[in-house]
Amino acid sequence: MAAPRKPRTPRPGEAPPAAPLPSPDGAVALHALSRDQLSVFLYLALLPEETAQLAKDWKLSQPGFRTGALGEVQRCDLIADEIRAAPERGEAVLGLLRKAFGALPLAGWRIDGPGAEELGGLVQGDAALAMVLWRLLADPSPDVGAVVRPWLDDLARRHYGPAEGEGEGAAPEGGRAPAGDGAEAQLRKLSAQLEAARREAAAGHERAEALRRKEEEARERLQAQLREARAREAQAAGDAARAREAAEGARREQAKAEAALAAVRAEDLFGEAQRARAQARDLEGRAAALEGRLARAREREEGLERELEAARSAGPAAPSPAPAAAGVEAEADDAEAQAGWLFPVYTREFYDSLEGWDRRIQRAAFKQAHLLATDHRHPSLRALPLEGLPGYYRVRVATDVRLLYRRGERQNTVEILSLIDREDLDRYVRQAKTRSG
C-alpha cells in the first residue's frame, strides 16, 4: 500500500489549491466520530420514531430497561455504539437523511476551515435565517438576487398569509396581515418550541436521574449479592474443613477400635491357649497318676504270684493271714484313691463366665477346679450344696466369688459349670430351674 501523499505547498505567488468537494451522495464515515459526537448528531438529525425503529430493527437493548421504555438520548447512545462497532450500520442513517432532505446540502460549495467555523456558528443561533437572508441580499450577483426574492415572497406568504387576490384567504383592508401579527406568531412559535425543548430537557434530566438511580440500585444489588456469595463461599469452606476434621477423627476412632478389637481377639486367643495348656497339664497329671497306680497294681500282682509259687513249693501249710490282709488293705487303698479322683469336664458355660474377671480370679478358679478333681473331699474347698438345685454344689474361690459344679452323668467325672458372684446365686438358681423346666 502506497504511503499517503503530502499536500503540496504552493509556491510564492501561486494560488492555493481549491478545496475538494464532498461526494454528492453525502457519504460520511460516521464510525470515525466519538460516541458523544455521533450520538448528538443522531439526536439532531433523526426523528424520535426513526431512532426507535432503528433500535427495534437492530434489536438494541440496555440491561434493566425494556426497549420501548428507552428515552431518545439512550436510543441515540445505543445506535452510536452499534455504528462504531459495525461501521456498515451507518449507511442506514445516511439513507434516512437522503430520504428526508434529498441531496447533500451545499454539495457544490467549497468550504475551507474558516468557512466551516462560520457556517457552524451561523446555524447554532436563533437568528440563523435573518443572517442568511442578509448575506444573500448583500450579494452583488444578479443570480443570487433572482433566487432570494422568490424565497422572500414565499416567506411572506408563509408568515403573513397570501397577498391580495391570491385566494379566498386574503387579508382584508391592506392586502396582508400586519407585520406585527406575523412577528408575534413567530415569537409564540419560538416560545412554544423553547418550552418544548425545556420540557424535553427536563424529561431527559429525569430519565438520566432515573437511570442513575437504577444503576446505583443495580450496583448495590450486585455488591450485596457479591457479599452474600463470598459469605456462602466462606461458610462452605468452613463446612468442608469441619467435614474433613470429622472424617479424620472418624478414621482415627476406627483405627483405635480396630486396634482394640485386635487386642481383645489376641487376649481371647491367649486365654484359650492358657486354658488348653492348663487342661493338658491336668490330663498329663491324671495320666501319670493312672500309670503309677497301674505300675503298683502290677507289682502287687507279681508279688502275689511269687507268694503263690512259694506256697505251692512249700506244700500245704496254714494260711498266713498277713499277706491276705495286706492285699485286702492295698486293694482298699487303691479303690479309695480311685473313688477320690474325678475327671474334670470344663463346660462352655464355665469358659463364658470367665470373661470380666481379672487374671487372679481366673487362676484361682482353675486351681480350685484342679483340687476338686484331685480330691473333692479336701477341706479347703468348703463345698456346699446349692439350695434349690439338687446335685449342684459350690466351692469358695474368693470372698464373694463361687465356683459351681456338679457330678457328671458318667462315673468319676465332675462338670465345672460357672464362675459367679455370690450375690447372683439366687438368679442362677431361677434361670437353671427355668431351663430344666
> What DSSP assignment string belongs to 223-292?
HHHHHHHHHHHHHHHHHHHHHHHHHHHHHHHHHHHHHHHHHHHHHHHHHHHHHHHHHHHHHHHHHHHHHH
Task: Give a yes or no: residue 15 inside a domain.
Answer: no
Task: Give a yes or no: residue 411 inside a domain.
Answer: yes
Q: Are 92 and 54 in contact (CB under 8 A)?
A: yes
Angle at the Cα of 336 from the Cα atoms of 311 and 329, rounded to 5 degrees: 25
Task: Give a yes or no: residue 353 inside a domain.
Answer: yes
Tell me the backbone φ, ψ of residue 411, rounded to 5 degrees: -70, 145
Task: Give a yes or no: residue 330 inside a domain.
Answer: no
pLDDT at residue 417, as a whole number? 92
pLDDT at residue 76, as a whole number? 92
Sequence-distant (6+) residues with CB within 8 A of 416 are: 344, 345, 346, 347, 350, 369, 372, 403, 405
Per-residue pLDDT of the chain (437 residues; tens, 9 = 90+): 444 444 455 555 555 566 677 877 878 888 898 999 889 889 888 999 999 999 999 988 888 777 677 888 888 999 999 999 999 999 999 999 888 888 788 777 777 777 777 777 777 666 677 777 777 777 777 887 788 788 788 877 776 666 655 554 444 444 444 444 555 666 667 777 777 777 887 887 888 888 888 888 888 888 889 888 888 889 999 899 999 999 999 999 999 888 888 888 887 788 788 787 877 777 777 777 777 777 777 777 788 878 878 877 775 544 444 444 444 444 444 444 444 567 888 999 999 999 989 999 999 999 998 888 888 778 778 888 988 888 899 999 998 999 999 987 766 788 999 999 999 999 999 988 888 76
Amino acid (one-letter) located at 19: A
CA dihedral (249, 252, 256, 262) positive or negative: positive
CA 257 to chain centre: 32
Give the domain extent around 410: 342-436
Task: Give a yes or no: residue 319 inside a domain.
Answer: no
pLDDT at residue 321, as a whole number? 44
Rg of the chain taking only CA atoms, in angstroms = 66
Q: What three-state secondary structure class fits 414? A: strand
Sequence-distant (6+) residues with CB within 8 A of 82 are: 58, 60, 89
Amino acid (one-letter) located at 312: R
Order of all β-strands in the sheet with 413-421: 343-346, 413-421, 401-407, 392-398, 384-385
Task: Give a yes or no: residue 375 inside a domain.
Answer: yes
Q: Are 383 and 392 in contact (CB under 8 A)?
A: no
**CATH, residue 372:** 3.30.2310.20
pTM of the model: 0.34
Task: Give a yes or no: residue 374 inside a domain.
Answer: yes
Q: What three-state secondary structure class fits 343? A: strand
- Number of structural domains found in the chain: 1
pLDDT at residue 182, as a whole number? 54
Task: Give a yes or no: residue 349 inside a domain.
Answer: yes
How many residues in the chain? 437
